[in-house]
Amino acid sequence: MKHPPLQLTFCVLLFLAAGFATARAQETMLKAERIKSSDLPPEVLAAYKKRFPSANLKQIVKLPLQVYKNDWEIDELNQPDGSEEFYTLSMTGDQVDLEALYDRKGNLIRANEVARNVALPLAVNQYLVENYKGYTVKKDKVKRLIEPNKISAEWEVLIANKSDKKRVFFDTAGKFIKEK
């Protein structure tokens, strides 16, 4: 009996492994499902309304642990048992877009917020007045990462002096980071 060449065997095994990995990834991604607010656990609904009272809920996605781990990089120190469920809530408000991740008990894991044309921190205003004389603020936005015990932010401010435009970036405390 003649055996197939080693290279052919390796290619067949590689093809089968790739197919299995692709099927496995598709299976995992299909487990994330859009749900209605009426299907949210009451703890999640109450927590979101308390934390973001003026936001309009646009979409809810129920995430099983495996999808959560892939998308949000769960901290393995929490020793998940595999039965956990997480909910991604997409929301909008007056010049703000939010995406928040909650666990089944209504605990906020993390939220990303982008707000446009909001009041700038005093430190940002002072820096602009002192370092960009003759420039006016055209638009601004703040990107915030909200975690249970910490909020970090980056401000981006578009300023202009006639045809000269600059984007200036600041940290959470309003300290200058860079200019583009």
Residue with tokens 């809530």: 89
| pLDDT given at position 34 | 86
pLDDT at 28 exceeding the cut of 50: no
What is d(CA 162, CA 175) in angstroms, rounded to the nearest whole number? Answer: 25
DSSP-derived letter for residue 39 is G
> What CATH fold (topology level) applies to the domain 117-180?
Nuclear Transport Factor 2; Chain: A, (3.10.450)
Task: Say whether 117-180 and 31-112 share the same fold.
Answer: yes
Residue with tokens 């956990």: 84
pTM comes to 0.67
pLDDT, tens only, 5-21: 545 444 334 444 445 44
Domain ranges of the chain: 31-112, 117-180
What is d(CA 114, CA 156) in angstroms, rounded to the nearest whole number? Answer: 11
9-13, 33-37, 136-140: least confident range: 9-13
CATH number belonging to domain 31-112: 3.10.450.360
